[in-house]
Amino acid sequence: MPHANLNAFRENRYSQNGEDGIIGEIFRRLNISTGWFVEFGAWDGKHLSNSYNLVAHHGWSGVFIEGNPQKFQDLLQTTAQFPGKLHPICAMVGFEGEGKLGDLLARTPIPKDFELLSIDIDSYDWQVWNALENYRPKLVIIECNCSIAADVYSIHNPPVSEGASFKALVDLGKKRGYTLVGHTGNCFFVLNELAPALQLDPAALANPESFFDHAKYRKERLVNFCREILLKKLLHEIFRILDERRQAAKAAKRGG
């Protein structure tokens, strides 16, 4: 019997929004018990990781990429615990020039058709995936800006917009030959030819918005609204204090 979505399998061992459980269920249905992953910015390879569970408990191999030299030292401590399994790279992943993901992966023995790509850099996620060449991961997990409505197309373009919207990522996935199969705040995409094996509701697959986490959207909108209110109050208080100081300075000058 088809399932409407994979959210029933949410579970966190190291992930943030239940990704560990969903990843496990996707690969179980695909009959994949081991493989390769790529994750960046990885920090220490454990904190809020979508892939550490795979290496720590299922014997996977992977590539961790971290651009911060200090955090990379923490990552090296983690990779040392799994000799020959993990390939750490200290680099900022970009979407042009030598920092493109494909060029970084070419330094490692990871196969072209590796199993999992996890993208979460809070900015140019859409651009990084769009620029990926020569590699075709089976499952892509990529962060979207959940404060943007599901039907709005937007990609990272500061200061105009931050992150990529759900719709922008769905459209990119379609262009690259992927089907959206879930959403936790991160979008889950599998290769089109693998989607039937997940036994999801065909009607849901045909309507990607049915996977959109509207509760998270409302939460993110509320958080952003509160931030704006607090920022306005803070700015108002700063200007009030500055004005009082100017008035006091003027009064002191007149009195002198």
What are the CA-CA distances from residue 223 to residues 219, 220, 232 (Å)? 6, 5, 14
The pLDDT value given to residue 71? 94
Nearest to 192 by CA among 181, 206, 177: 177
Structure tokens at 114: 């590796």
**CATH number of the structural domain 7-212:** 3.40.50.150
The pLDDT value given to residue 226? 57
> Which sequence spans correspond to the domains of the chain?
7-212, 214-256
pLDDT 10s digits, 67-103: 999 999 999 999 999 999 999 999 999 998 889 999 9
Can you tell me whether residue 87 is helix, strand or coil?
A: strand
CA-angle at 13, arms to 142 and 21, nearest 5°: 60
Nearest to 27 by CA among 141, 139, 117: 139
The pLDDT value given to residue 17? 92
* Mean pLDDT calculated for residue range 201-226: 73
180 touches 208 (CB < 8 A): yes
Nearest to 62 by CA among 5, 8, 25, 23: 23
Task: Please report which confidence band the pLDDT of residue 242 belongs to, taking 50, 70 and 90 as the band edges.
Answer: low
Counting other chains too, the contacts that 27-32 makes at CB distance below 8 Å and 24 or more residues apart are 27/115, 27/139, 29/197, 29/198, 29/199, 30/138, 30/190, 30/194, 30/197, 30/198, 31/197, 32/115, 32/138
pLDDT 10s digits, 147-183: 898 999 999 888 877 899 999 999 999 999 999 999 9
Does residue 4 have a pLDDT over 80? no
pLDDT 10s digits, 20-57: 999 999 999 999 999 999 999 778 999 999 999 999 99
168 touches 153 (CB < 8 A): yes
Does residue 3 have a pLDDT over 70? no
CA distance 224 to 216: 12
Provide the mean pLDDT of the chain: 88
Percent of the chain with pLDDT over 70: 84
